[in-house]
Each structure stands twice: as structure tokens, then as C-alpha cells.
Amino acid sequence: MFENYFETLKNLEEASHLRSIKSFERKDGKFIYIDGKKLLNLSSNNYLGFADNENITDEFLSFAGKKYSFGSASARLLTGTLPVYKDLETLICDLFQTDAALIFNSGYHANVGVNSSLAGSGDVIFSDKLNHASIIDGMQLSRGKFFRYKHNDMENLEAILKRERNNFKNAVIVTESVFSMDGDIADLRKLVELKNKYNCMLVVDEAHAFGVFGEKGLGVCEELGIIKDIDLIVGTFGKAIGSVGAFVTGKKVLIDYLINKARSFIFSTALPPVNIAFSKWIIENKLPYTFDLRKNMLVIAGKLGGQSHIIPYIVGENDRTVELSNILYANGYFTLPIRPPTVPAGTSRLRLSLTADMTEKDLAGLFELLNNNK
């Protein structure tokens, strides 16, 4: 009975695709400790250093005391909504100047909920080919049809819109702002133009940009001054904010619709109040003071050729990517090899993800090693 599972795992191993869970001893800012070895951690989403930070934890706990419990014991629509959830949603609306916001348990839940419910039977979704797995899973659960346009290729999207838009009722265009595996940035202005021209909704996932881009740290839409043009913005608390969970914000009718139709929202126990309080505390008390740090990180990234703080170093072959990752490891740099199916076949890579406490000097050594091992 289990033979085909063994077989699949063996095939994955042979193709250097087998995934396994590693455990780390300790993380401290930009460093990670493995088998007693201290490495520069280029594989985290802890962009502003708020996760795994003893000082931050102490400060938060002295503010929070015993006010917030560690379990909500219910879904939001039953008895899972305490004032702190509404307070965080109100804070998100105040920051984005939007009509409504809804907290989900994670970015994965948010994208699955939004993309599975917005497009019903007779509707359509147009999605960037490199959108995150959570967006793809959401579309696959939707009763609507979906088309994937070539990555960041606005001509290709427009050609598909011309051909297909009129065959459907409601239409959604969905994109990430900063792409998680490539670090490049969607052409959001053009997407706004196309969504208006072809009467679509536009959903933007700012998972990697929330807390990093924009004067207030709200993301690329803030930086471009186009928040009001986007129907729904998704942001996560598990990356730059150093917490867990996600929000969706935008038009009230759509948020009300999600409350009623997004099954990943409806049928899951709400996050613990303490986590909600932590996200709110970071956004209110820490994020406003990070502008210089964030700017500096993006300047350093720019000098290394990145459009954002995520810099892909594309190698191609799986084995060579793993080998390179091992060479970096031996020299004190922790970079996980990213392989298919996370990225398209033949584009295996090292995903270098910077954090605000990294210096140019930290990274110069890394790039020297990469150049010497071409």
C-alpha cells in the first residue's frame, strides 16, 4: 500500500528535490546557530529583526503582562473575537485609509480565502505565473476559471484580457508586489490601468513588502501612492512584523463578502490574542521608527543588483545549487537552496534575503565567494 509513497520519496531524493525539516539551535538577529556554528542568516523573512529578539520580547511582555491569553479557543465568527482583534483591524484601516480590514490566521489562509471565494462560477482570475503557492491553491479551490499570465508581462496579460475578459462576469487580477522568490516588483501602475480598462478587481499581495516599502512601511502600493486604486491588499504579520497572521484590507463590500464566504477564515480557530496584541504593538510602537533602517537595507540591496531586499542568485541545476549552498555554509553564510516546485525547473537558486542589521561588509564576503565559485 505504501510502495508508491516510498517510490515518490526515492524519486524526489534522486532529483535532489527531497524536503526535510531542519532544527536550529538558536537565532539572534542576522545570525543563526547550527551545530555550534554561527552563520549569517540569509534565509529568513525577519527583515526588521523583530522576531527572535529578546529585548523586543521583554519589552512586549512588560507592556502586555497577563492581559492576553495564549488561546482563542474559537473561530472569529463564534466566540473568537476579543477587542484586540477589532483594534488591530481598525489600526490597519487607519494606516491604509481603507474602509475595512480582516485578520486571517496566516498569509496562506488569506490568499486561499480571497482567491477561492472572490471568483465564483462564471467568474475569472488572471494571475501572475510566479504568484505564491497560496494564491494558486486558492484559485484551484475557486469555482471560477483562472489564467496565468507570463511573469510581470503586461503585454501578455493584456492579450489574455482582450481574448477572455468578456467571456466572464466578475474578473480578478492578482499579483504579489515584491515577488517572494525573485525579489522583483510588479508593474502595479500598469496593473491599475489594465484593471480599469478591462473592468476587473485588483488584488495585491504585499507579504514581503509590508513593513519594508513605503514611508509608513505599508508596502509598494503606499510607496506608489495607489492604495486607493487597489480593491484588496493582503499583508502578512509573519515576515517583517516578526509575528504571525495576515490581514486583507480594502473595499467594505469585499471584506463583508470574505467574512461570509472565505472558508479559511470561517472554519479555523482564531489566532491567540497574545499574537494579535504583539502584531498591533509592533505596528504601533516599532514600525514607525524603522524608516532609516529600511531605506538603508534597500540601498544596500540595490548596490548588489536587487530591486528589493530579496536577491535571487540563479544557478540553474539543483545539484550545483545545493553544492554552492554548502560552500557558503562552510564559509559562514546560511542560504537555503530553492528548487522546483517552489521555482520553475532549471531556475534553482539561492534566495538571498537581507535583513536591516546586515552591513555592506557582511555581504561583500558573500558575493566574493559567489564570484569565485562561478
Ligand X SMILES: Cc1ncc(COP(=O)(O)O)c(C=O)c1O
Give catalytic residues, as residue numbers: 45, 132, 176, 180, 205, 208, 239
Residue 236 lies near ligand X (rule: CB under 6 A): yes
Least distance in angstroms from the C-beta of 283 to ligand X? 15
Cβ proximity of 259 and 114 under 8 Å: no
Q: Which residues contact residue 78 at a Cβ distance below 8 angstroms, ignoring those fewer than 6 apart?
A: none
- Report how far residue 148's alpha carbon sits from residue 127's, in angstroms, rounded to the nearest whole number: 5
71 contact partners, CB below 8 Å, separation of at least 6: 272
207, 248, 262, 366: which one contacts ligand X (CB under 6 A)? 207
Nearer to ligand X, 46 or 106 (CB): 106
Angle between helices 54-64 and 273-285 (to 10 degrees): 110
Candidates 65-73, 143-151, 200-208, 256-264; binding stretch for ligand X (CB under 6 A) = 200-208
Cell (9 digits) for 26 = 538558536
Greatest extent of the chain over all pairs of C-alpha atoms, in Å: 60
Round to whole Å and give the CA distance between 374 and 368: 10
Query: What's the gap between Cα 25 and its chain centre?
Result: 25
Which residue lies nearer to ligand X by CB, 219 or 370?
219
CB contact at 8 A, 333 and 39: yes
Query: Residue 221: which residues within 8 A CB-CB, separation 6 or more?
Result: 177, 188, 204, 206, 214, 227, 229, 230, 233
Binding mask 91-120 for ligand X (x = CB under 6 A): ---------------xxx--x---------
HSE-CB for 334 with a 13 A CA cutoff: 18
180 makes contact with ligand X (CB under 6 A): yes
Size, binding site for ligand X by CB under 6 A: 14
Q: Does 175 bind ligand X (CB under 6 A)?
A: no
CB of 354 to ligand X, least distance (A): 15
Closest distance of CB 181 from ligand X, Å: 8
Q: Which residue is nearest to ligand X (CB)?
A: 107
Nearer to ligand X, 176 or 222 (CB): 176
Nearest approach, Cβ of residue 176 and ligand X (Å): 5
Q: Which one, 30 or 132, has the nearer CB to ligand X?
A: 132
The CA distances from residue 247 to 89, 108, 215, 302, 342, in Å, are: 8, 11, 19, 29, 24
Asked if 250 touches ligand X (CB under 6 A), the answer is: no
Residues 118-157 close enough to bind ligand X by CB under 6 A: 132, 134
CB of 327 to ligand X, least distance (A): 26
Q: Is the dihedral of CA 197, 203, 209, 215 positive or negative?
A: positive
Q: Which is nearer to ligand X, 111 or 370 (CB)?
A: 111
| Residue 238 makes contact with ligand X by CB under 6 A | yes
And the C-alpha cell for 37? 556554528
Question: Which one of 83-91, 202-210, 318-326, 354-362 is the stretch in contact with ligand X (CB under 6 A)?
Answer: 202-210
Residues that bind ligand X in the complex, under the rule CB under 6 A: 106-108, 111, 132, 134, 176, 180, 205, 207-208, 236, 238, 246
